[in-house]
Structure formats: C-alpha cells, structure tokens
Amino acid sequence: MGTAAAAEQVVRDFCDAFDGRNAEALRPYFTDDVVYHNIPLEPAVGIDATIAFIDGFFGMCDGMTIEMVGIAVRDNLVLTERIDTFTVGEVVAPLPVMGAFDVRDGKICAWRDYFDLGQITKMLSGEA
C-alpha cells in the first residue's frame, strides 16, 4: 500500500472508531506529539491532552457519528469533508466540518478541524 493510500486508511479507520465514544480506544491512532486543533479553540498538544479533550467532548454528548462526505489525499496529508453529528439529549446537531490530518509512520501527528463554532453552539442550545 502506498503512502497516500496508507494515510487515507488510517484516517478512515480513525473516523469510524469515533462511533464507540471511547477516547482511550483512539490513542493508538496518534503519535505521542500529536497536535489536535479545533481551529476556533486552543490546540491540544500531545497525546494525553488530545485524549483528554476528546474524552471531555464525549462526556458532553450522548452520541457522535462521523459521515465522510469527501476525502482527498496527497502523500501524508488527508483532507476530509465530513458531517459530524452530535446527539445531546433530544438535540441532534449535524455539523459540516473540514478536517486536515497529517500522518507520520502510520499515525496521526496533526489534526485540524475547521467549522463554524457559532453554528454548533446554536444547534446544541436548541436555537437552530
């Protein structure tokens, strides 16, 4: 499997693993020095900070799924267009997200998600 195909598979497998809502189960997908940056917020630097951030996020949601809409790969860079759907009580909030994943040695070393923070805040509060 070529570099691009291997990087794409890592990201696809990682996104599929989100359905389990188990942050620790995601640890094997990351390098120790991973940087996870939801662009409207401060980045989580390092694997422990990244897992803690994801765990906190899972704690706020009753469910979360990732639907891959599109994917583009060049070498070790994987760009994703996704619909990340969060369920909190009776509120179901589908959020359009563009994500960029850098893959090194079969693991994600950088993950950047671009989305409208105002949109998800309104949806989760029931305003949208």
Catalytic residues: 84, 113
Q: DSSP character for 89?
A: T
Residue pair 20/12 in contact by the 8 Å Cβ criterion: no
Please name which of 51, 47, 53, 81 lies closest in space to residue 66, comparing C-alpha atoms. 81
What gap in Å lies between CA 48 and CA 53, rounded to an integer?
A: 9
Q: In what order do the strands lie in the sheet containing 107-114?
A: 44-45, 30-38, 107-114, 91-104, 77-88, 63-74
